[in-house]
Amino acid sequence: MSGKTNWIKVSADAQARLINSIPVKWRIAPDKMPPKSRLDVTGFPAESGILTQHELDITESFATDIVRKLIAGEWTSQEVTIAFCKRAAIAHQLTNCLTVVMFGDAIKRAKEVDEHFAATGKILGPLHGLPISLKDCFNIRGYPTSVGFTAWALDPVQTESTVVTLLKKAGAVFYVKTNVPTAMMFAESVNNCYGRTVNPFNRNLTSGGSSGGEAALIAMRGSCLGVGTDIGGSLRIPAACVGLYAIRPSYGRSPHFDARTALAGQESISSVNGPISRSLADLKLWMETIISMEPWLQDPKALELPYRAISLPHKLKLAVLWDNGMVTPTPPVTRALKSVVNTLKVKGYEIVDWPSKDHSEAAIICKKFFLADGGKSVSKVLQKTGEPWRPELSDYKRATDMDVYDLWQLQKERTILQANYLKRMVEAGIDAILGPTTAYVAPKNGELGTVSYTNVFSVLDYSSVSFPSGLKADKDLDKRLVDYIPLSDMDTLTQEQYSPVDVHGLSISLQLTAKRLQEEKLLAMVEKIGEDLVW
Any residues with CB less than 8 A from the CB of 200 and at least 6 apart, and which? 40, 41, 42, 91, 94, 95, 207, 216, 219, 220, 242
Helix, strand, coil shares, percent, the chain, to 5: 40, 15, 45
DSSP letters for 281-329: HHHHHHHHHHHHT-GGGT-TTS-----------SS-EEEE-S--SS-PP
Cα separation, 276 vs 274, in Å, equals 7
Q: What is the 3-state secondary structure (H, E, C) of 446-472?
A: CCCCCCCCCHHHHHHCCCEEEEEEEEE
Q: What type of residue sits at position 266? A: Q
Kind of pairing between the strands at 225-230 and 131-135: parallel
Q: How many CA atoms, within 13 angstroms, populate the side-chain half-sphere of residue 246?
A: 36
234 carries a ligand binding annotation: yes
State the first-to-last Cα distance of the chain, in angstroms, to the nearest integer: 61
The catalytic position among 210, 277, 463, 469 is: 210
Residue 77's alpha-carbon distances to 222, 245, 337, 424, in angstroms, are 15, 24, 40, 49
How many residues make up the chain in this entry? 535
Q: DSSP character for 151?
A: G
Would residue 475 show up in a list of annotated catalytic residues for this protein? no
The catalytic position among 135, 168, 284, 472 is: 135
Work out the number of other CB atoms within 10 angstroms of the CB of residue 388.
Answer: 11
Would residue 135 show up in a list of annotated catalytic residues for this protein? yes
DSSP letters for 352-376: EE---TTHHHHHHHHHHHHTTBTTH
Q: What b/e string do you get for 286-297 counting C-beta neighbours within 10 Å, with b at 16 or more?
A: bbebbbebebbe
Work out the number of other CB atoms within 10 angstroms of the CB of residue 355.
Answer: 12
335 and 329 Cβ atoms separated by less than 8 Å: no
Of 289, 288, 295, 294, nearest in space to 309 by CA: 288
274 carries a ligand binding annotation: no
210 carries a ligand binding annotation: yes
Would residue 279 show up in a list of annotated catalytic residues for this protein? no
The set of catalytic residues is 135, 210, 234
Give the annotated binding-site residues.
Answer: 184, 210, 231-234
Give the annotated binding-site residues for substrate.
Answer: 184, 210, 231-234
